[in-house]
A and B are shown apart, each in its own frame.
Chain A
Amino acid sequence: MSAGVVDEHADAAAKAAAGPVLEITGLSVGVRGEDGEREVVSGLSLSLGRGETLCIAGESGSGKSMTALAIMRLLPQPAGRISAGTIRLFDKDGSAVELTALDERRMRGIRGDRIAMIFQEPMTSLNPVLSIGRQLTESIEAHTGLSHAEAQRRAVEALKAVRISEAESRLKQFPHELSGGMRQRVMIAMALALEPDVLIADEPTTALDVTVQGEVLELLRDLQRQHGTSVILITHDMGVVAEMADRVIVMRNGRMVEEGTTADIFTGPQAAYTQELLAAVPRIGSGVGRRASAEPDPATRDKVAVVNDLHVRFDLRGGFFGRVNRRVHAVEGVSFSIAPNETLALVGESGCGKSTTAKALAGLVPYTGAVKIGGRELSGLGGDARKAVRRDVQMVFQDPYASLDPRMRVGDLVAEPLLIHGIGSRQERQSQVAALFERVGLSAAQMELYPHEFSGGQRQRICIARALALKPKLIIADESVSALDVSVQARVLDLLKELQREFGVAYLFISHDMAVVENISDRVAVMYLGQIVEIGSRDQVFSNPRHPYTRRLIEAVPVPDPSRRRPRFARLDREIPSSTRRIGESVPKLVLKDFGGGHLAAIAD
């Protein structure tokens, strides 16, 4: 599949000529809050051609999801309402229905049948107490006159269409028995079973692992091509936009900022905001934001942390007496070291053990193996000595909303580590916290506020300030920028880099996002099923990946450049195996082969 820019143009033009399937004019959506009604979408007009993929891109709060819900007439009730504008859905013969004027009963006939929607969170978007089969057939039965047996046959077809193996037996399964990627495929099957004219996909791959994301996007593309479905794809990820879209609409604060074909938006963005947004997108191998990879000399420098043959296992109980009969081998013989002023990135997909490794390092889970922090062995220490070592390791977590106590002032939150370790007088702590606030780009005056008064990016800055308070040698950043919008993400990454230069702190940077990792890391370790499969300097791993899994991870990242759409993605037909094993079952230990210059990978020649 070669996708030249010229072809794309012609393609998009042809699709537009076939007449629109959906047309929105002057749409405004209001949401009533405590301080009156707020407009979350203002005067939005767009049209969607038959068989076209239109991406609505924007950051959180841009109104893109509200637009989707307005089309479905599913705005949060009773607070949300369409305050102005029209939404017209066209038939094949050109006759139109005005969706905003339909009563609830007729709107129900449209939902699921002519306009279907899939959502961001596959883990929570399926009903946990109903079988997959039931959830698939009920919408088929609701919109067609088919008998239950016929609906069931249709459901099996739909599951096969989304490449789910053993479709018949899947009908009896429940959502919790499937992985996130499988659930999202079930959602897609459900949405496409009735061959709707329009599919609205609201961040359909954001919650998925990157390799699974690649598969799901490709699946969406194939299905769209087969059925000629028009797709509105809502995403914050410019990589996904480049990969999928015919046309793009960029939104900000409820308004359309720019509209154009994908090629035009990426090659010549007109609006300043679009330019900013594109500039902030982390890209693999683009050179943006890269600095010369530090050349650590492993022999001569004192390591901040040395991890040797780390194992973390969780027992699962079962049987008559509730004895341990299985174990999750979360981390299985992991070894690495981090030098001062160095950033080691730990990458891998969900369940690979990267966060558990970090928790073991911070002393939050029991482990076996050797962990040395600042030259001191962690396991043999008593309470006080352990507390002293803990000062040297601090964490910044993923969710800035959940990791700050909502009942404490942020100044106190940042001062708390100092208080726990008994450092300084009250005044000294106060001034130290003020200095930290200034350092992370907040003002000392904001110390008196509570967490809910800050945005996500600001909260993550507060978390960073809290981690810095004890002047640690190592900060563990566990998916610390994953929940942030790209522009905010870029600024927080810059802050982390600045702080490293200033304080010489080392980072263990845990992420699933390869582009972010390439941006910030000096060295990279790739984890799979609890073991490191490849480790080396950033350049070694990204320019010359040795392990097939590393290659897969890098290839799977959507490239924010429509002229470089990827060739077909190598599909993985099986699910990633589980790291749960029976007692006594041994885990084959991977042997890392040295490729020189500290580049190790687990391959047998």
Chain B
Amino acid sequence: MIAYLGRRLIQSLLILLGVSLITFALLYLLPADPVRQIAGRSATPETVENIRRQLGLDQPFIVQYWHYLARLLGGDLGRSYIQRSEVTELIVSRLPASLLLMVGAILCELAIGLTMGLIAAVRRGTATDQTLMVASFVGVSAPQFVVGLLLLYVFAVRLGWFPIGGYGSWRHLVLPSLTMGILGAGWYARMMRSSMIDVLRQDYMRTARAKGLARGAILFRHALPNAILPVVAMIGIDVGVFMGGIVVVESVFGWPGIGQLAWQAIQRVDIPIIMGVTLVSAFAIVLGNLLADIIAPFIDPRIKLR
């Protein structure tokens, strides 16, 4: 187990290194010039060159990347070009909001998705099954900004059950979590349904019925743990999807998380923030996958970490 964790940790560091290199290279190749953004339209060529030198942006790519990496190893993500403050501080101050949103979204998609999938599998071939599958299809295909605006219109504007935007109480959390969760719920419902149908066909399910167990025990003790395994692996991958969704959803709901931070930074070519948010996201994805892999043996004893 310790050897496994050690190996996975080294792998994770290599992944993060790769992500940093690729992101840095892409931003370097970007036609937009961050210095122009900082200096403003009316700045003289001398001022522009001055700022460029100050930020070290006149150096060759390798040197720039090397400097960035050296600072990164010291835990320093650099300073924002526009906001004039440390990127680390900006991210740390906004991370709790995003994490909260992510937890809310995961709970939503698991609760909705797994329930739908379970019911559809048990009622396979009936009208209930078909209705649920159509619903999941809509969930999967609806763009998040549309879902977000729709939810806002119905539940905030019309019914007034939840606030229109902002951050603070659990009521603020509901609509953005739902918006993010609905997409995943669609996927999970489909996955859970096929996985469950597969499990219900297994020989050991027949054994469980032959023992004279009650329906609930058969379903929840014998079928569910077997069916949920592929879903657990999916949660790890899902963290990555969330990172993409967070940029849109946080903007729609005015949620003060790193998604919003990233959105503002992208518009103003604020490279240190973009880099910082990307690395934090990559770290979250790597961590999510690691967690999913660590949880798996607790569900299925046949899986051994090595």
CB-nearest residue of chain A relative to B205?
Answer: A127
Q: Are A127 and B207 in contact, with the CB atoms below 8 A?
A: yes
B209 is an interface residue with CB less than 8 A from chain A: yes
Q: Are B210 and A124 in contact, with the CB atoms below 8 A?
A: no
- Give the residues in chain B near A108, CB-CB below 8 Å: 212-214
- Give the residues in chain A near B211, CB-CB below 8 Å: 111-112, 116, 138-139, 142, 190
Q: Are A176 and B301 in contact, with the CB atoms below 8 A?
A: yes
Q: Are B222 and A110 in contact, with the CB atoms below 8 A?
A: no
B108: shortest Cβ distance to chain A, in Å? 26
**Contacts of B283-306 to chain A: CB distance below 8 A:** 299-302, 306
Contact of A119 among B7, B207, B221, B222 (CB under 8 A): B207
- Give the residues in chain B near A174, CB-CB below 8 Å: 301-302
In the complex, A204→B146 CA distance in Å? 58
A143: shortest Cβ distance to chain B, in Å? 6
- Give the residues in chain A near B222, CB-CB below 8 Å: 127, 130
Q: Are B210 and A112 in contact, with the CB atoms below 8 A?
A: yes
A126 is an interface residue with CB less than 8 A from chain B: yes
- Give the residues in chain A near B208, CB-CB below 8 Å: 127
Q: Are A125 and B209 in contact, with the CB atoms below 8 A?
A: no
Q: Are A129 and B7 in contact, with the CB atoms below 8 A?
A: no
- Give the residues in chain A near B3, CB-CB below 8 Å: 319-320
Chain B positions 179 through 214: 1 when the CB is less than 8 Å from some CB of chain A, otherwise 0: 000000000000000000000001110111111111
B168 is an interface residue with CB less than 8 A from chain A: no
In the complex, A127→B208 CA distance in Å? 8
A109 is an interface residue with CB less than 8 A from chain B: yes
CB-nearest residue of chain B relative to A321?
Answer: B7
Q: Are A110 and B212 in contact, with the CB atoms below 8 A?
A: yes
CB-nearest residue of chain A relative to B10?
Answer: A320
- Give the residues in chain B near A116, CB-CB below 8 Å: 210-211
- Give the residues in chain B near A121, CB-CB below 8 Å: 203
In the complex, A128→B222 CA distance in Å? 9
Q: Are A111 and B206 in contact, with the CB atoms below 8 A?
A: no
In the complex, A139→B217 CA distance in Å? 10
- Give the residues in chain A near B221, CB-CB below 8 Å: 130, 138
Q: Are B212 and A109 in contact, with the CB atoms below 8 A?
A: yes
Q: Are B302 and A176 in contact, with the CB atoms below 8 A?
A: yes
Contact of A138 among B6, B7, B203, B213 (CB under 8 A): B213
A380: shortest Cβ distance to chain B, in Å? 37
Chain B positions 209 through 234: 1 when the CB is less than 8 Å from some CB of chain A, otherwise 0: 11111100100011001100000000
CB-nearest residue of chain A relative to B306?
Answer: A318
In the complex, A186→B212 CA distance in Å? 17
CB-nearest residue of chain B relative to A120?
Answer: B203
A464 is an interface residue with CB less than 8 A from chain B: no
Q: Are B213 and A74 in contact, with the CB atoms below 8 A?
A: no
Q: Are B300 and A112 in contact, with the CB atoms below 8 A?
A: no
A-B contact count (CB 8 A): 86
Q: Are B299 and A129 in contact, with the CB atoms below 8 A?
A: yes
A210 is an interface residue with CB less than 8 A from chain B: no
A476 is an interface residue with CB less than 8 A from chain B: no
In the complex, A190→B301 CA distance in Å? 21
B2: shortest Cβ distance to chain A, in Å? 9
Contact of B6 among A107, A119, A130, A320 (CB under 8 A): A320
- Give the residues in chain A near B6, CB-CB below 8 Å: 320
In the complex, A128→B204 CA distance in Å? 8
A438: shortest Cβ distance to chain B, in Å? 40
Total number of B residues with any Cβ neighbor in A under 8 Å = 25
**Contacts of A129-157 to chain B: CB distance below 8 A:** 129-131, 138-139, 142-143
Contact of A129 among B206, B214, B226, B306 (CB under 8 A): B226
In the complex, A131→B300 CA distance in Å? 11
- Give the residues in chain A near B7, CB-CB below 8 Å: 320-322
Q: Are A125 and B212 in contact, with the CB atoms below 8 A?
A: no
In the complex, A72→B211 CA distance in Å? 10
- Give the residues in chain A near B212, CB-CB below 8 Å: 107-113, 139, 142-143
A305 is an interface residue with CB less than 8 A from chain B: no
- Give the residues in chain B near A111, CB-CB below 8 Å: 209-212
Q: Are B213 and A128 in contact, with the CB atoms below 8 A?
A: no
Q: Are A72 and B210 in contact, with the CB atoms below 8 A?
A: yes
In the complex, A108→B203 CA distance in Å? 18
Q: Are A128 and B302 in contact, with the CB atoms below 8 A?
A: yes
In the complex, A119→B306 CA distance in Å? 34
CB-nearest residue of chain B relative to A128?
Answer: B302
- Give the residues in chain B near A318, CB-CB below 8 Å: 306
**Contacts of B115-131 to chain A: CB distance below 8 A:** none
CB-nearest residue of chain B relative to A193?
Answer: B211
A144: shortest Cβ distance to chain B, in Å? 11
CB-nearest residue of chain B relative to A117?
Answer: B210
**Contacts of A311-331 to chain B: CB distance below 8 A:** 317-322
Contact of A142 among B203, B213, B226 (CB under 8 A): B213
- Give the residues in chain A near B204, CB-CB below 8 Å: 124-128
CB-nearest residue of chain B relative to A176?
Answer: B302
Q: Are B207 and A125 in contact, with the CB atoms below 8 A?
A: yes
A517 is an interface residue with CB less than 8 A from chain B: no
A100: shortest Cβ distance to chain B, in Å? 17
CB-nearest residue of chain A relative to B125?
Answer: A78
In the complex, A130→B213 CA distance in Å? 15
A187 is an interface residue with CB less than 8 A from chain B: yes
In the complex, A32→B79 CA distance in Å? 71
Q: Are B203 and A124 in contact, with the CB atoms below 8 A?
A: yes
CB-nearest residue of chain B relative to A129?
Answer: B225
B280: shortest Cβ distance to chain A, in Å? 28
- Give the residues in chain B near A130, CB-CB below 8 Å: 221-222, 225
B128: shortest Cβ distance to chain A, in Å? 14
**Contacts of A162-184 to chain B: CB distance below 8 A:** 174, 176
- Give the residues in chain A near B206, CB-CB below 8 Å: 74, 119, 125
Q: Are B202 and A124 in contact, with the CB atoms below 8 A?
A: yes
Q: Which of B7, B210, B213 has the most CB of A within 10 A?
A: B210
CB-nearest residue of chain B relative to A136?
Answer: B211
Q: Are B301 and A125 in contact, with the CB atoms below 8 A?
A: no
**Contacts of A34-65 to chain B: CB distance below 8 A:** none
Q: Are A119 and B203 in contact, with the CB atoms below 8 A?
A: yes
In the complex, A155→B304 CA distance in Å? 27
B129: shortest Cβ distance to chain A, in Å? 13
A78: shortest Cβ distance to chain B, in Å? 8
In the complex, A167→B204 CA distance in Å? 22
Interface residues of B (CB under 8 A from A): 3, 6-7, 202-204, 206-214, 217, 221-222, 225-226, 299-302, 306
Told that A121-B203, A174-B301 touch, could you supply 8 new A-B pairs with CB distance under 8 A?
Answer: A110-B212, A111-B211, A124-B203, A127-B208, A176-B302, A319-B306, A320-B6, A322-B7
Provide a sorted-by-A list of 23 A–B residue pairs whose CB atoms are within 8 angstroms.
Answer: A74-B209, A107-B212, A109-B212, A110-B212, A111-B209, A111-B210, A112-B211, A112-B212, A116-B211, A119-B206, A119-B207, A124-B202, A124-B203, A125-B207, A126-B204, A127-B208, A127-B222, A129-B300, A130-B222, A174-B301, A176-B301, A190-B207, A190-B211
Interface residues of A (CB under 8 A from B): 72, 74, 107-113, 116-117, 119, 121, 124-131, 138-139, 142-143, 174, 176, 187, 190, 317-322
9 nearest interchain CB pairs? A111-B212, A112-B212, A112-B211, A139-B211, A124-B203, A320-B3, A127-B204, A174-B301, A117-B210
